[in-house]
Structure 1
Amino acid sequence: MKKDWLLYLQLFWTFLKIGPITFGGGYAMIPLIEREVVAKRKWVKMGEVSDMFALAGTAPGAIAVNAATFIGHKVAGVRGAIVAMVGVLLPTFLLVLLLNLIFLTLKGNPHVAAAFQGIRAAVVALIAYAAIKIAKTSILDKSTFVLMVAMVVMMVVFHWHPIVVIVSGALLGIMLVKVKELLHISVPHNSKQPKKKESYIEEPEEKMSS
């Protein structure tokens, strides 16, 4: 029981640290999740984080909260999901209260406006870094790369709704897998699938009986 509470405390503290950098809709938190949850705690793998963010983007609500809930549930079940969700929400809740109290006095301040310009640029950098990290575990071959480019074009040129893009990606992914299976083409499920190594160690020959 003591170990369970220790795990809940670690989950809460981890997402309490992640919460304040959930600018940009939540994707900016991916670099810190990679460092705290994947590398440091080793609770989940980076590929699982990519899947969880994909699910978080399809579910209603803020991506940061959804992702924290998914990861918390993966690590420690329902209680872990609640603890992680509270941890990621608490800093934002307190910051919004604080900003609401001082907003009127800071409104129009040139220093504050300049600071927010820098913050916006930093958020873009964080989201770009997150996109690169997710791409490494999500773009597995040429077909998934083409699919990614097609979805970007649909959003930029034709202004498709994100839900339509996600559903279309899921359906096209299923179709690609089925076509590859019919053509007997191997379907990669992990960008870092270990290759089978051939054994060069020869079996010892049986000694001839004298």
Structure 2
Amino acid sequence: MKEFLNLFMAFFRIGAFTFGGGYAMLPMLQKEVVEKYHWATEDEIMDYFAIGQCTPGIIAVNTATFVGYKTKGVLGGIVATLGIITPSLIIITLIAAFLQNFADLAVVKYAFNGIRACVCVLIFNAVSKLAKKSVIDKICLGICVVVLLLSLFSPLSPALIVILAGIAGVLFKRTGISGGEKK
């Protein structure tokens, strides 16, 4: 029972203190899931996050479900999912009840501007950590550049881009093309 409570509370904290969507949760996810509880490795978290990105639903919920399932099976997936969504339900209910009364106040507008700026930095930090772990050779760097260009300049869906990148990785590995390991 204690493990389920730990699972719920860890994802509750992630859900409560992560503003800005799925990408902003990466630093907390790494701290709670990888460093504190050792429920997954950094590579597994990146894999769950990538799969969560290209499956229907919210990245945070999908990732929590994957980690919970890996840790404690189906019930663990449910507990982790409830943990990640409960803070949002509480916060959204409170905001819906009170925001209309305060939305036009300058201090509220300034607070949201500050939160948005902070989220940008958190996302940048998460992306730079992911890049250091994911771009391990020249082939990976090439795939990364192509994906960046496709995501910026093409109408392709992010899910399709992720699938194409996975196929490219498999094809390069199968053909024996090596990008040389990054030191």
Aligned residue type for 2:80: A
Aligned residue type for 1:152: L
Superposition pairs of residues 42-61 of structure 1, within 5 angstroms: 42-61=38-57
Match of 1:178 in 2: 174
Match of 2:106 in 1: 110
Greater helix fraction, Structure 1 or Structure 2 = 2
Which gives a bigger RCO, structure 1 or 2 (Cα 8 Å, sep 6+)? 2
Paired residues of 1:29 and 1:64 also in contact (CA < 8 A): yes
In 2: Cα distance, 1:116 partner to 1:152 partner? 28
Match of 2:162 in 1: 166
Match of 1:93 in 2: 89
Aligned residue type for 2:23: Y
Q: What are the ranges of 5 or more consecutive residues in structure 2 without an aligned counterpart? A: none
Match of 2:72 in 1: 76
- Computing the radius of gyration over CA atoms, which structure comes out larger, 1 or 2? 1
Count how many residue pairs are aligned between Structure 1 and Structure 2. 183
Paired residues of 1:65 and 1:85 also in contact (CA < 8 A): yes
Residue 186 to residue 149, structure 1, CA distance change in 2 (3 Å): closer
- How much identity, in percent, do the aligned residues show? 36
SS at 2:175's partner residue?
A: helix
Match of 1:63 in 2: 59
In 1: Cα distance, 2:107 partner to 2:156 partner? 37
Q: TM-score, normalised by structure 1?
A: 0.82
Q: TM-score, normalised by structure 2?
A: 0.93
Shift of 1:150: 0.9
Q: What are the ranges of 5 or more consecutive residues in structure 1 without an aligned counterpart? A: 193-210
Q: 1:143 aligns with which of 139, 143, 147?
A: 139
Shift of 1:139: 1.3
